[in-house]
Chains A and B, each alone.
Chain A
Amino acid sequence: MTASVISAGFHTTVQDCGRAGLRKFGVTPGGALDSVSLRLANLLVGNPECVAGLEITSGRVRLKVEVDRLVAWAGGEFEMRIGDEPIPILHCARVSAGAVIEISPKHGGRVWLAISGGIDVPEILGSRATDLRAHFGGWEGRALRDGDALPLGAESELCRRFRAAIPIGVSDWSAPRFVPRRRFLRVIRGKNWDDDIGAKLLAQKFRVAMNSDRMGLRLEGGEIGSNNPPELVSEAVAPGTIQLPRSGAPVVLLGDCQTIGGYRKIAHVITVDLGYAAQLQPLDEVRFELIELEESRELLRERERDIALFRAGLEARFG
C-alpha cells in the first residue's frame, strides 16, 4: 500500500498538524503551514482531520497510487487531475489502483493533499510532520524526491462509506473555502508595538523576498527603520509573530519558526490569516491591517465552529 512519487515537484513534504508540547526542548510545532486546508482535505476523504498528508509548494507533482483510494486537496490556486479528469478543489475523488494524480500550480502558493488512510510514515515525537531544520519526521526528515514510495495507512470505515457514495469520479459533497482571497494580512499589536513603527507597518506595501521559506516570510520594499533598538532578552515567538530585526525589514514567522527570538515583536498575523500567509510567494505584495485582539479571537472561535459544523454535517450523512 504505497503512493509512488513520480515527480516530487519543487518542494513537497509530509505534514500533519504538528508537534505539541515540546517547545521547551526547542522543537518547533511545524506541521502544515495552513492546518485548516490539511484538516478539511482529511475530513473530505473520511480521515481523522490531523493525519499526515502532503504539503506541495509550487512545482508540478505526480503520484501513482498503488491501491484504490480517495483523495482531496485544498489551499492555493492549483489544478489537479486524475488521469485526464480534472478534480475540483475541496471535493473528494476516487482514484483507482495504478492511476496517476497530477497537481500543478496556476498562480502558485501551496496546496495540501489528503489520501484516505493517510501517509503512514513513523510517528516521531508524537507527529509525522517533517522537521526540515532538524532533519527528522516525515519521509526521512527531508523533502520528497522522485522515486520515493510513501506507505499509506489503513482506511477507516468512514472512508469506505464515502467511497460507496461516489459511484464514479467526484463527490457531491464539498467543503467551504476558508482562505480569504485578499492582499492583506490582519494583525494585532505585539509586545514591542509602538505607534510610530505600527503606522509604518500599516501604511506601506511590502514584497515577499526570495529567501522566504517555511520558517518565515522575509519582507522588503518597505522601510520601517530600526531607530537604534534596545538589545532585547530572547523570548518565545510563534507562527504569525512579525519580528523587526536591526535591518528594519520585518519578518513574518511561519510554522517552522524558531521557538525563541531576540528581535522586537511588533505585531502578530492573526491565526485565521496564517493560511493566507502560507500562500504568499516570493515577489508577491502584501499589506497589513490592524484589528483588535478580541476580534481575532472571535474570528478563530468562529472558524473552529465552522470546521466543527462541516465535520458534523459529514458525520450526520455517513456516520
Chain B
Amino acid sequence: MTIHPLGDTALIIDLADESSDADQLLALSLFAADAIERARLPGVVDVTSAYRSIALFFAPGQVEQNIKEKIRALILPKRARSRGKARRTEIPVCYDNEFALDLARVAGHTSLTGDGIIALHASTEYTVACIGFVPGFPFLAGLPEKLRVPRLESPRTKVPAGSVAIANAQAGIYPFESPGGWNVIGRTPLRLFRVNENPPAFLRPGDRVRFRRITRAQFDAELE
C-alpha cells in the first residue's frame, strides 16, 4: 500500500502491491473505502474507490499530520477479511437492432453472431468497479474475454440515455444522453441516476450486476 498526495487537499491510497489478482484488489479497495468512510476521520469530506485505489478528500486546510498512520491502521490489519455480502441487481436490456447501434461492429471484431454476443453479455455476472465518467455511469468489471473490442474510432457526440455498452475489458450503462465512445449493444428502460433520491445512483460500487434480455414491448412497458 502506498499513499500519494492528490493535490494539497486529497490523498490517493494505491493498493496495487497488495495482490496480483484484479478481483481481489477490487474487493480490497471497496472494503477499504467502506472502512475509512465508517471511521469518520476528522476533516474528511469524501471517500471514493476505483479498481485498486481509494481516495480521501479533505476540507480546505484540514489534512491531518498523522493521517497516513490512521489509514494504515484502518485497512491493513483487516485486509484479509475483504468484503461481506454484495447487493445483487438485474438490469433489463432490450438488444433489438434499433437500440444495438454497434452490434454489427462488435460482431465484426469478435466473429460472434449477434445472438452469440447477446447470450454471452447477458449470462455474465459483473461487479460495479466504480461509478464515474458522468454521474451514475457504472464501470462494470467481468466482461468475458471474447467480448473485448476497442472503443469506437471517433466517439459519438450523443449516446442515448440507457445505452448499454462495452469497450475493451469493461461494460457500462449511459445514465442519460451524453457523448461517448463505447460500443452500444442494447438499451435499458431503467433510470440509473435519479437526482431526487439519495443515494442518487441506482447502482453502487461493489454491486453484482446481471443483464436480463427483454423484448421491445417489455422495454416500452418498463420505461421510466
Q: How far is the CA of A23 from the CA of B61 in the complex (A)?
A: 20
With beta carbons under 8 angstroms apart, the residue of A21, A137, A260, A293 that contacts B8 is A293
Contacts of A137 in B (CB 8 A): 195
B51 with A236: CB separation less than 8 A: no
Q: Are A124 and B4 in contact (CB under 8 A)?
A: no
Total residues of chain B contacting the partner, CB 8 A: 46
Q: Mark A234-266, 1 if CB is under 8 A from B, else 0.
A: 111111110000000000000000111000010
In the complex, the answer to whether A134 meets B61 with C-beta atoms within 8 Å is no
Q: Contacts of A136 on B, CB cut-off 8 Å?
A: 195
* 268-311 of chain A: CB within 8 A of chain B: 268-271, 293, 296-297, 300-301, 303-304
In the complex, identify which listed stretch (B70-78, B106-114, B133-141) lies at the interface while the others stay far away: B133-141
**Across-interface contacts of A134 in B (CB, < 8 A):** 134-136, 176, 193, 195
A177 at the interface (CB under 8 A from B): no
In contact, B8 and A268 (Cβ under 8 angstroms): yes
Across-interface contacts of B196 in A (CB, < 8 A): 124
Contacts of A259 in B (CB 8 A): 48, 131-132
Shortest CB-to-CB span from B29 to chain A, Å, is: 10
Q: Would you list which residues of chain A between 46 and 85 have a CB under 8 Å from chain B?
A: none
**Whole-angstrom CA separation of A138 from B136 in the bound complex:** 19
A residues in contact with B61, CB < 8 Å = 297, 300-301, 303-304
Q: Is B49 an interface residue (CB 8 A)?
A: yes
CA–CA, A233 to B204, complex, Å? 19
Cβ–Cβ contact B50 & A234, under 8 A: yes
* B residues less than 8 Å from A23 (CB atoms): 46-48, 55, 57
In residues 164-219 of chain B, which contact A (Cβ within 8 Å)?
A: 176, 178, 193, 195-196, 198-201, 204-205
Using CB atoms, name the residue of chain A closest to B5: A293
Taken together as a complex, chains A and B put the C-alpha atoms of A124 and B130 apart, in Å, by 22
Instruction: Determine the chain B residues whose CB is within 8 A of the CB of A233 once the complex forms.
Output: 16, 50-53
Other A-B pairs, 13, CB within 8 Å; known A25-B136, A271-B9, A271-B60: A21-B45, A24-B47, A134-B195, A135-B176, A189-B5, A191-B14, A233-B50, A234-B50, A235-B51, A238-B7, A268-B7, A300-B9, A303-B61
A interface, CB within 8 angstroms of B? 20-29, 124-125, 131, 133-137, 188-191, 233-241, 258-260, 265, 268-271, 293, 296-297, 300-301, 303-304
In the complex, 21 of the A-B residue pairs with CB atoms within 8 angstroms, ordered by the A residue number, are: A22-B46, A23-B57, A24-B131, A25-B131, A26-B134, A26-B137, A131-B135, A133-B134, A133-B135, A191-B6, A233-B53, A235-B50, A236-B50, A258-B133, A258-B134, A259-B132, A268-B8, A269-B7, A270-B8, A271-B9, A300-B61
